[in-house]
Amino acid sequence: MRSSEIKKILKEYKDVFEALENYDKTQELPFQRKRIDITLSVETINKLRKLKEKTGKPISQIIEEKFVAVQ
C-alpha cells in the first residue's frame, strides 16, 4: 500500500482510529454506557418524568441530549 493511500485512509477514518487508540488506553469505547448515581431535587425528577411521558424517551436519553446541546 502506498503512503498516499495510507494517509487518505487515516484522514477519512480519523475518528475511528482515535476511538481505537483511546480504547487501548482506557478499555472503554465512546459509545459504551455506564451507570452512575446522582442526586437531584424532587422538582427536577418530576420535570424529567413529565418529559419522559411527553416524549416517550428514557430519562437518561433526555439528560444526554440536553448535555450534548450545551456543548
Residue with the three cell numbers 495510507: 6
Consecutive 10-residue averages of pLDDT for the chain (71 residues): 89 90 86 86 96 95 83 59
Please say whether the beta carbons of 20 and 10 come within 8 A: no
pTM of the predicted structure, to 2 decimals:
0.55
CA distance 54 to 50: 6
What nine digits make up the cell of 34?
Answer: 455506564
pLDDT for 71 equals 59
Whether the CA torsion 10, 16, 21, 22 is positive or negative: it is: positive
